[in-house]
Structure formats: structure tokens, C-alpha cells
Amino acid sequence: MANSKAKQGQPSPTTDVPSFFVKFRKDLTAVPQKDGRIALFRNGGKVLDVPDIPLIEELRKSWMAEESIDRLAEFSGNAPALYFLTEKLFSLDLLQMQCRVGRQALFTFQPAPEWQAWREIPPAPFRRLSPFLCLRQEGNSLLLEMPLSQRTCLLHDETCLLWLMEMIREGGSPPAEDEARKVFYRALYLMNALEEKPAQPIWEFHDLLFFSASSIGFHDDPIGATWPLKDHLPPAPLFKPCKRECLFLPEPDGQLKDLLHAPFAEVLAGRRSGRIPGSRPISLEELGALLSTSARFQDILDDPSRPCPGSRRPSPSGGALHSLEIYLLVHSCIGLPSGVWRYDPQQHRLESIAADNNLLEAYLKNNPHALIQGAGMPHIRLVITSRFLRNSWKYEKIAYRLILQDLGCLYQTISLTATALKLASCILGTVDARRLGDLLSLEPLVEPVIGEMTLSSLP
């Protein structure tokens, strides 16, 4: 297929008839049973129990054409049972299918539709590639995937890329004599990657891809607590260790302690975003009461059922992993020097963080509430990060989704605590994650900045 003409960027019709082969999916595990049968497992659960027959053995180790299955059925002595089993494997999405022209593999499609699906041609009006179609590298091939579609197409030959580019430039159906390209067009149709008219601009590409990939039902990949990194990396520690000078925070006492005993319904009803700071800076005692009540470690969850320990804290966290870290950019605080600090929830203390003073000063000069009349500089900006390995070590596909859910919970917990303490807090909708990461000297893929809020005394 990858002939010289195609390599020069001039795809030509392929008159060879494509052939199709099926095989068990790579993520399918076959486990022999004592009764002479074989149990098939996917995503940690058994999906089917099958007899130990040549069909199963062949599908485990090699690609099979439809004619090969017909021959097995002919000599099996029970052809209806073998065809029924084959249909069952198709219906449960346990097979992958490879399309070849001659000896060259064009693409592999997963999960495989039944044979007749490739003999149909998509309706003519479907002429556009979806703007949500995604192409990325997987191994030595390129993977085509589509949000909200359970099917993927692994491209092995560059001719497929030329066909994609031709569709983008010219649109339209493939030439009638080009059988291989018609089959590839059919693959795109089966993935829902062809559309009749432009999609409504409700979703952006990254939003739809994230929603689809991190939700159950729109794909058939492993998802949830699969411990994908358990055999590759050690888990991240429960608490980020302190490496620099620390300042212990005061415990809630006196009037602050009384304020924290306000009726919950009253606090909930009174919560508002406070963007105008008071003339008096926030105090270290108020800050200590806020962090102790909203983010302090309570106890450790560590038992044989947990490959990595978790903890209980006032704000909920998926799997009790609590990957979130709170950094404080202090503009003015009574009893606390200006600068950058990190909250240590285990010891209820602040760790001094080395930061470039010029970067810090420049950042703090940018008032996030500048458009609000009367809004001066916030006294403190709380920057929220995530030690991502805490979540990705346990969860597959949903690690970032859970982190964002944790962030929302922490936002609300801090906001309600601030309300009870008569403080002004406000969650920021946009976050300059790259700039803050540079300021805090954090690696963006190890501990990304994911949120920010302001904290001040009330006016």
C-alpha cells in the first residue's frame, strides 16, 4: 500500500480487494478452567465462559479470516454452535478486526463489527470529517478516536493519512473503484467521525474529549480504580514533606472559636463571594482558624485493602487520596511575613517557600478583582495544586476528573469556613497555571496548578 506514488503525496485508487481478519482484543485475558473451559476477562471482570475449542485457541494467537472460521465450522461437527459462539464474541465486543490489502495492514478497528458491516457504504450526505476526531500516536501506529464513540481505528499505513487529508481538502465520497478507501470511509462512519453538516458549537474539542474519556458508557476502556501505575511507580507519599523553615499556626480560640460554632444553615445562607478587602489585614489567628477547620488532616486510613494510604480531612476527596496542596501568596497578614508559604495539613503549620521576589511582586500587583469598584488588593491568594501521581497511581481515565471534583469540594469548604469567620473569600474562574507554576518552581505534569482563590478581611 505505501507505494512510491502515495509517498509523494499523490494517493491513487486502490483496486485490490481489502480482506478482513479478526482476533481477540489485546486487553482480553483467557484463563483455562478446571472443567476444560476457558474464562474470558476484561477490565478485571469475567465477560464470558467458552469451551476450549480450536476457534478460541486460534483467536488467541493469530488473525483469522471469515473463510478460516467457515472451515473450522465445517469440520467441527456442530457448525451452528460455532457460528453462535462467533456471533456472541462479536456482540460482546471481544474482537478486533484488521483490514489488509495484499499483505499490508491498513488499519485495525476495535471493537470489531460483524463481517457484513464492511460491505455497506455510508450514506452520501455524510461527507465531512467531524472536528472532534482525534489523531495521536500509539506504539508504532497512529490512533484515530472520536469522543462519545466506543470504536477506535489504529492506522498502520500512511495511505490512510493521505485519504484523511484529501477528505479535508475536497470532501465527498471515495472513488467508486477505490475499494480500500471505501472501507476506510466506512470505518470513519462506524466511529461516528463523519457528519452531514457542521456540529453546533456548544462543546469545544477539549471539553468533549475530557467528558467522553472520563465517563462510563462512551468508551469501553478500563476506567476507575484499576491501579494502572502500581507495578511501574511507587505511590506518592500521603503528605508532601517539608524541606524548609516552618511556622506553626495557632489553634482556633476565643472569639474565632465561637464564630465557628455558628449554625450551619446560617453559614450556608450567608456565603457570598467577597471581592472587596477590609482596611485591616487578615490576621495569622484568622488564617490558622480557617486552615485548621477547612483543610487540616484528621486521621490516616491505612489497611491491607489499600495499596496506598489515604486520610480523612474536612473536605471530601475521591479515594481519600487528598492530592491537593494549598500555597499562600501573602500580600499583607498581621503576624505573617509577606511571601510564599505552603500549608502542611499534618502538622498544621506553614512552610516557607523560596520564590523569586520579582516574580511574586509582579504577580501580586495584578489585582484579579480590578474591574470591581472599590476592590483593593486581596490580602492573601490561595493557590491550589495537585500532586497528580496520588490520583493517577490508582485511577485510570478519571484521575483529573476526581481532582477537579476534589477542588470544588475544597473551594466550598474554605468558602463556608471563611463565611463563618467573617472573612471575604472569592474563587477565581481563570488561573494562570503556567505563571504560578514558574513562581512556585513546580513541574507542570508532576504538581500542576489547578485553582486559585482570594482571602481577605471583610470591609
Task: Identify which of 153, 59, 143 has the alpha carbon closest to the alpha carbon of residue 108.
Answer: 153
Task: Identify which of 92, 89, 17 has the alpha carbon closest to the alpha carbon of residue 60.
Answer: 89
> What pLDDT, on the 0 to 100 scale, is given for residue 172?
63
Q: Is the pTM of this model over 0.85?
A: yes
The angle subtended at Cα 98 by Cα 94 and Cα 103, nearest 5°, is: 150
CA distances from 203 to 145, 207, 209, 400 (A): 17, 6, 10, 19
List beta partners, residue 425: 455
**pLDDT tens, the chain, 459 aa long:** 444 344 444 444 455 789 999 999 999 999 999 888 999 998 878 999 999 999 999 999 999 999 999 999 998 889 999 999 999 999 999 999 999 999 999 999 999 999 999 987 666 666 688 999 999 999 999 999 999 999 999 999 999 999 999 888 876 666 767 889 889 989 999 999 988 777 678 999 999 999 999 999 888 888 999 999 999 999 999 999 999 999 999 999 999 999 999 999 999 999 999 999 999 999 999 999 999 999 999 999 988 888 999 999 999 999 999 999 999 999 999 999 999 999 999 999 999 999 999 999 999 999 999 888 888 899 999 999 999 999 999 999 999 999 999 999 999 999 999 999 999 999 999 999 999 999 999 999 999 999 999 999 999
Query: Cα 29 to chain center, whole Å?
Result: 25
pLDDT, tens digit, 9 for 90 and up, residues 178-230? 889 889 989 999 999 988 777 678 999 999 999 999 999 888 888 999 999 99
The Cα–Cα gap between 368 and 428 comes to 8
What domains does the chain contain, in order, with CATH numbers?
18-214 (no CATH), 224-457 (3.40.109.10)
Query: Cα 58 to chain center, whole Å?
Result: 35
Task: Identify which of 325, 336, 360 has the alpha carbon closest to the alpha carbon of residue 247.
Answer: 336
The Cα–Cα gap between 377 and 391 comes to 34
> What pLDDT, on the 0 to 100 scale, is given for residue 7?
42
Task: Identify which of 5, 9, 50 has the alpha carbon closest to the alpha carbon of residue 28.
Answer: 50
> What pLDDT, on the 0 to 100 scale, is given for residue 1?
42
What is the b/e burial string over 15-42, where b = at least 16 CB atoms within 10 angstroms of the residue's CB? eeebbbbbbbbeebebeeeeeeebebeb
